[in-house]
Structure 1
């Protein structure tokens, strides 16, 4: 395996379907490998404070920075960029880049079936937890 493959494969614990919950938040996300394994693809269907949010995100290895970067394509045409890191049992997702104060930080339980965390940014944030409902081939 190359460094590219190893770095991207660090996100393998995300592969599967997850129920999302939090105050005013519910829905599902599904992570799966793109054919060929070059990207991890997330399908999102959430309801937050009564508003439906759907989209797809492609997460891949950015060789120049050595980071796992993504592009999220929303139902309304927005394209958002994130950086992912899964270190030990902690998942961090930065909006924009690792210097951004807007990020998600969540911790997996010992079995890897629940991630408890929150999105946070200066002046705000919200809890967002994931519970695995279906495991896919990692």
Structure 2
């Protein structure tokens, strides 16, 4: 199916495909896929983890304006829903929220060939509070469209 994404969405093409996910030092293999919603208006992210204590998730990513900013609407198998501000530029993918419970930040850096993302996840203990390292995560592309 042909798609014609908005120009601000074009930069999300680097995410399209299927990725294997891992957390260094923890046996929690997973998969994440990114695909365009019909007609390219939004990017759909689906994530699964092969351990029952970790949630599976679906996210919808869309542009929030002409400045290249995005939002990710996240929903998981625990019934949790969150909204993250997102950027993707200069081979760096960031997600951030300063929610009513605690803040979170994800910073993923793409390898030169675009097939690996090394990510650092951080969280705080209260709204507006400082962020501390939570865990690292590695995405390895296993298929592209």
Structure 1 length normalisation: TM-score? 0.82
2:64 alignment partner in structure 1: 62
2:44 alignment partner in structure 1: 41
1:125 alignment partner in structure 2: 134
Task: Specify every segment of 5 or more residues in structure 1 that has no aligned partner in the other structure, as ranges.
Answer: none
Cα distance in 1, alignment partners of residues 67 and 92 from structure 2: 21
2:17 alignment partner in structure 1: 16
Change (3 A) 1:96 1:64: farther
SS for the counterpart of 1:32 is strand
Q: Structure 1 residue 29 and structure 2 residue 32: aligned?
A: yes
Deviation, 1:36, is 0.9
Task: Specify every segment of 5 or more residues in structure 2 that has no aligned partner in the other structure, as ranges.
Answer: 124-130
Structure 2 length normalisation: TM-score? 0.79
Instruction: Describe the superposition over 1:47-68 as per-residue Cα deviations: whole angstroms up to 9, x where unpaired.
Output: 46x6131121000112398620
2:127 alignment partner in structure 1: none
Cα distance in 2, alignment partners of residues 96 and 55 from structure 1: 20
How many residues align structurally? 130
Tell which structure's C-alpha radius of gyration is larger: 2
